[in-house]
Amino acid sequence: DFVMTQSPDSLAVSLGERATINCKSSPSVLSSRDNKNYLAWYQQKPGQPPKLLIYWASTRESGVPDRFSGSGSGTDFTLTISSLQAEDVAVYYCQQYYGSPLTFGGGTKVEIK
């Protein structure tokens, strides 16, 4: 099975500052067939379902603000919020969809400092 490890577990960032969340996969989620990384990022606010932010590691879902960006390849990935807004307070999850079972990281809670 694919193991997804996120870090940190939580972080507090000042409004307008950058937030960076890391995700490591084991094994790699980069497909040699199509050269795509089968990795997504979700945002979940309290009492709400997850919301897709990023897929193929770096493709922003329609309607997602451009302050959210994804990067990385193979086994190491990053979600960056370039300028944290109050509405970005949430838990963020990475997820691999390379193979079954689909697996999520443990989540990173983002708060305002």
Partner 1 sequence: EVQLVESGGGLVQPGGSLRLSCVASGFTFSSHWMTWVRQAPGKGLEWVANIKQDGSEKQYVDSVKGRFTISRDNAKNSMYLQMNSLRVEDTAVYYCGSGLGWIFDFWGQGTLVTVSS
Which are the contacts of 58, defined by CB distance < 8 A and separation ≥ 6?
Answer: 37, 69, 70, 71, 72
Q: Can residue 51 be called a binding residue for partner 1 (CB under 8 A)?
A: yes
- Measured from the CB of residue 14, what is the shortest distance to partner 1 in angstroms? 26
16/47 with CB nearer partner 1:
47
- Near partner 1 by CB under 8 A: residue from 50, 58, 73, 75: 50
Binding mask 82-111 for partner 1 (x = CB under 8 A): ---------x-x-x-x--xxxxxxxx----
d(CA 3, CA 89): 25
Question: What is d(CA 107, CA 94) in angstroms, rounded to the nearest whole number?
Answer: 7
Are the CB atoms for 25 and 3 separated by under 8 Å? yes
* Site for partner 1, rule CB under 8 A: 38, 40, 42, 44, 48-52, 55, 61, 91, 93, 95, 97, 100-107
